[in-house]
């Protein structure tokens, strides 16, 4: 048996319209298709080499908020860019959360920033 690759990353959305605007405006993701499964709708976007699946539930669901140092919970996904300053500018312009402004990490020789989507999901953005 071998793993063949990552297919998608899923986010349960609190507010679909706000979430759409974030991923379209900050990262300029291409919208693919929607799939209605009855009690929820899957909205797909294209990340490099993998899909982003945003789930819109038709009925209210319980919301959880965790801190970025809480243990035993999912932390973030990471994507690469060639222009961190542009991502930072877009987040600041639209008022999206930034947990860490662009910072060079010498131990990994990369510059990173941490942004937060409208659902509280942290995204690490890396520039080599």
Distance between CA atoms of residues 7 and 50, nearest Å: 5
This prediction has a pTM of 0.90
**Phi and psi of 29, rounded to 5°?**
-70, 145
pLDDT tens string 58-73: 998 888 887 777 777 7
pLDDT tens string 20-50: 999 999 999 999 999 999 999 999 999 999 9
Distance between CA atoms of residues 106 and 71, nearest Å: 25
Are 15 and 118 contacting, i.e. CB atoms less than 8 angstroms apart? Answer: yes
Domains of the chain (ranges; CATH) run 8-59+75-127 (3.10.180.10)
The two structure tokens encoding residue 67: 């801190």
């Amino acid at each position: 048996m071998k793993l063949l690759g990552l297919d998608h990353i899923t986010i349960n959305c609190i507010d679909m319209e706000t979430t759409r605007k974030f991923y379209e405006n900050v990262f300029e993701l291409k919208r693919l298709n929607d799939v209605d499964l009855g009690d929820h709708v899957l909205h797909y976007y294209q990340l490099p080499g993998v899909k982003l699946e945003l789930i819109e539930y038709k009925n209210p669901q319980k919301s959880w908020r965790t801190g970025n140092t809480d243990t035993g919970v999912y932390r973030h996904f990471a994507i690469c860019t060639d222009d961190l300053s542009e991502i930072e500018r877009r987040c600041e312009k639209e008022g999206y959360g930034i947990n860490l402004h662009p910072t060079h990490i010498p131990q990994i020789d990369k510059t990173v920033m941490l942004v937060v989507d409208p659902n509280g999901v942290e995204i690490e953005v890396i520039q080599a």
